[in-house]
Amino acid sequence: MGSLDGKVVIVTGSAKGMGAAEARDAANQGAQVIVTDILDELGEEIATEINATYRTLDVTSEKNWEILVSSVVEEYGRIDGVVNNAGIYSSQGIFNSSVESFQRIIEVNQLGTYLGMAAIAPIMANQKSGSIVNISSVAGMRGQVNIAYMASKWAIRGMTKSVAKTLASSGVRCNSVHPGAVNTDILFSLEEETLNHLISSVPMGRSGEPSEVAKVVTFLLSDAASYISGAEIVVDGGMIA
């Protein structure tokens, strides 16, 4: 018996990294997972590995979301969980980022999460059940130099609380997860000096694994978290304690 037996769960940006780990853990716990991404080849590979369904999804496209949600409901009859994981990162200073780069990060990280919640909310409200998990970051818990990324992750934190309050009476929960230094492409893209400084700031003395974040996400998707909504769960080895 798995904690997500019988549940239908969509995970965005799940062709690799943390999203793939979240999809994998949900499937291991019995969920019917819909892997979504714009990286079709990698997404298909993950879906095949975990016996899931793959769908192409550009999270910034309202039309793409409409098509996805419609197809999932048509095939499975319901949607029990969505993990808004898709996101991009760019290391930018406070005043030296281009407008285009700033807008792109906001579009993918913030707007993409909003569109996902907006597309899923009517389905879950009608079911009188459902769990939305939004992947933010420790950057959404404090001030940082990379201003566009930080702004997008603070926005996710705020939107999560707003949606949690709005949908609570419908039996729908919404929470945010805030990973710290986790072994993904974002971490590996940092310069060695920056990476070493970041890891040295973690009290546990190491970076996290995507699977460690995934287990928290699975918990929030499950009925074991039935009285948790509007929460921000930090998974960072004590970095911002």
Q: Which amino acids are annotated catalytic?
A: 149
Residue 225, both tokens: 């978290």
Task: Judge contact between 150 and 139, C-beta under 8 A.
Answer: yes
Burial 150-177 (b: 16+ CB within 10 A, else e): bbbbbbbbebbbebbeebeebebbbbbb
- Gap between the terminal Cα atoms of the chain: 35
Q: How far apart are CA 169 and CA 123, in angstroms?
A: 14
Nearest to 59 by CA among 13, 10, 26, 118: 13
Task: Judge contact between 92 and 101, C-beta under 8 A.
Answer: yes
Nearest to 55 by CA among 73, 35, 41: 35
